[in-house]
Amino acid sequence: MKYKTIDLCAGIGGIRRGFELASDTKNMIAAEIDEWACKTYENIYHENPRNDVTDIKFKEKLNSIHYDILLAGFPCQAFSSVGLRQGFEDKTKGTIFFDIASIIKMTRPKVVFLENVQNLLSHDGKATFRTIIDTLDRQLNYHVVGAEYNDKGELINVTDAFLRNSKNFGIPQNRPRVYIIAFSRDYFGVHLKCLPSKIPTCRTKKAIFDNLEDILEDEVDAKYFLSSGYLETLEKHIINQRKKGYGFGYRIVNEPGILNPVANTVMATGGSGKERNLIYDEKNGNKYKGMNIKGKRSPINEKCIRTMTPTEWGRLQGFLGYAFLDENNNEKFEFPPNIPQGQQYKQFGNSVTIPVIEEMACFIVKYLNLMYEQFNPLEKRLYSMYGNEFFLCKRIANQLGKNMRNVTLDKLFNVVYFFRQNDFRVKELAEFLNISSARASQIVLQLLKAECIYKEEKGRYRFKNLISVTR
């Protein structure tokens, strides 16, 4: 079965690509406000993602788009340990989740997939994460895979349930991230019992890169090697930090003696992320040591120490060397012309590890298909609907289904579709359903009682728009 997605807070489209690798999905629309990221996204997908999830006009546009899975790597700055630690009090970034929640309420996707930083779990004494899960679970009626509560109704075991590390998914990068997968109770009902209690914990296919050495480039420009002076500064800094009891400092991730080396998290901040992922490169380092190059304050260091290249960061995120290879193993991912190197680091650091997303997407699609196979014909009919049409028909099925045959309910679904933009009389309803006017009057009363329609002037009725973007 082919599923439709929307890609919110899209960055350069890593989440979208993970779902495309997992299944035959079609993305309907994307939203991203960073101009540099938009350029790269457009270069990859040939689509303009310049939309703002906080904009009312964009939300209204989504109301007319039929899709199945909402994807969002919503901004993490407000929740990150390196950010402002203001969470939902951050009026520009921390509240983006609530804009996403309003979109979920309005469009009723079958599945919600969210990604964020590790610190989301602990922010504000765990209140931030509890609010997110509570919004999805209790306010929007979604079953959050892994959400477990104690007798007091408090979330427990959240780290085990939601935190996953890229290094367990075929990529040599220590990158813990929070992944939230939520299935709609309105769509799936009792069938949700087939879902496991946890999201995937590791990659089920062959590793993308067996070790860190596999991601390193054979030939590296001299500019990536540290000057001797800068390396000395870093060495002094880490000594001082350790004396103070701090753990910050540079790290050579593949220095001799380290078994099965793994990179640290590649970061959008650039500088600190590079320093924490220095490489010992004897082959290229011996070529350049002692060399004076433009922009360096002193000669290149004698210890063969360099930063990673943007290409190596791209491999650590699965963009390069995996996600965009064609059938002949040719690399198809590329940045648009004139993208500064700093932006390349930033965009990879801001993005997701695509193989992790792919595994999560395989999980989602597997259980979507499994539950669909369990559906009766009426449930399958509801499954084909979206947004307000689905919500109306679901309400009709829930509130009128006990007193109506499935064939009658199915006809009422057709009525919703046929009359959703127009008002109607009892006589018109009777003609459409091929029933008596008396029976049509009974159905109208039932629909009124279920709050699915309202009465207008001159004996005409209209279906309610139960979900409003402005609410």
Convert the pLDDT of each residue in 243-268 to its tens digit: 887 766 789 999 998 999 999 999 87
Structurally, at CATH architecture level, domain 377-463 sits in Orthogonal Bundle (1.10)
Q: Which residue in the list 76, 304, 393, 452 is annotated as catalytic?
A: 76
Least confident of 25-34, 85-94, 185-194, 208-217: 85-94
Kindly tell me if the per-residue pLDDT of 43 is higher than 90.
yes
Question: DSSP assignment of 401-464, as one string?
Answer: GGGS-HHHHHHHHHHHHHHTTS-B-HHHHHHHHT--HHHHHHHHHHHHHTTSEEE-GGG-EEE-
Domain locations along the chain: 3-209+353-373, 218-308, 377-463
Per-residue confidence (pLDDT) for residue 455, from 0 to 100: 94
- pLDDT band, very low/low/confident/very high, at 81 (cuts 50, 70, 90): low
Question: Between these two residues, 226 and 237, which has the higher pLDDT value?
Answer: 226
Give the Cα-Cα-Cα angle 333, 338, 339 (nearest 5 degrees).
60
| CATH superfamily membership of 3-209+353-373 | Vaccinia Virus protein VP39 (3.40.50.150)
Per-residue confidence (pLDDT) for residue 311, from 0 to 100: 97
- pLDDT band, very low/low/confident/very high, at 228 (cuts 50, 70, 90): very high
Find out whether 49 and 7 touch, Cβ atoms under 8 Å. Answer: yes
Find out whether 128 and 120 touch, Cβ atoms under 8 Å. Answer: yes
- pLDDT band, very low/low/confident/very high, at 201 (cuts 50, 70, 90): very high
- pLDDT band, very low/low/confident/very high, at 321 (cuts 50, 70, 90): very high
DSSP H helices, 108-260, are 127-134, 158-162, 185-188, 228-243
- Whether 76 is catalytic is yes
Per-residue confidence (pLDDT) for residue 471, from 0 to 100: 36
Convert the pLDDT of each residue in 101-134 to its tens digit: 999 999 999 999 999 999 999 888 888 899 899 9
For residue 424, give Cα distances in angstroms to 125, 432, 433, 455, 464: 54, 10, 13, 10, 13
Compute how many other C-beta atoms are within 10 angstroms of the C-beta atom of residue 7.
29
157: helix, coil or strand?
Answer: coil
Per-residue confidence (pLDDT) for residue 295, from 0 to 100: 76
113: helix, coil or strand?
Answer: strand
CA distance 146 to 163: 10
Q: What is the dihedral of CA 359, 360, 361, 364, to 10 degrees?
A: 130
Calculate mean pLDDT across residues 309-322: 97
Question: In three state form, how does the secondary structure of 214-254 look?
Answer: HHCCCCCCHHHECEHHHHHHHHHHHHHHHHCCCCCCCCECC
